[in-house]
């Protein structure tokens, strides 16, 4: 699998490490309630199709990126800097 780092260009997946669903960018408010927090901490989607994930370009430029990936076709559809997604 190859991921196109927005800074370095297309690189082998071994340069990246996986951090899970790109949910950390939508952290609930501190007073959002137990249900919202339980959902945020424990519950994950398991889609057959496009999924958004956080990857860290550890063996490269050190950027956090949001990768949109298709779990059925294994196609990597896009990669954006997490800093810009969160803005």
- Smaller CB separation from another protein, 49 or 62: 62
Give CA–CA dist 63/5, Å, rounded: 8
Give me the least distance between CB of 30 and another protein, in Å please: 27
Choice from 18, 58, 75, 84 touching another protein (CB under 8 A) = 58
The Cα–Cα gap between 52 and 78 comes to 9
Cα 65 to Cα 78: distance, rounded to the nearest angstrom: 10
List beta partners, residue 17: 56
The answer to whether residue 61 forms part of the interface with another protein (CB under 8 A) is yes
For residues 39 and 85, which CB has a smaller minimum distance to another protein in the complex? 85
Residue among 66, 70, 64 nearest 80 (CA): 66
Strands 64-70 and 17-21: unpaired
Nearer to another protein, 50 or 60 (CB): 60
Using CB under 8 A as the binding rule, the residues of this chain from 5 to 34 that contact another protein are 7-9, 11-12, 14-15
Contacts with another protein, residue ranges (CB under 8 A): 7-9, 11-12, 14-15, 57-63
């Amino acid at each position: 699998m190859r991921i196109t780092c927005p800074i370095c260009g297309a690189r082998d997946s071994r340069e990246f490490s996986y951090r899970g669903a790109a949910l950390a960018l939508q952290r609930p408010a501190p007073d959002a309630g137990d249900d919202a927090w339980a959902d945020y901490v424990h519950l994950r989607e398991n889609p057959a199709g496009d999924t958004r994930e956080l990857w860290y370009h550890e063996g490269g430029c050190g950027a956090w990126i949001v990768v949109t990936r298709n779990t059925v076709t294994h196609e990597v559809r896009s990669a954006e800097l997490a800093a810009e997604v969160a803005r």
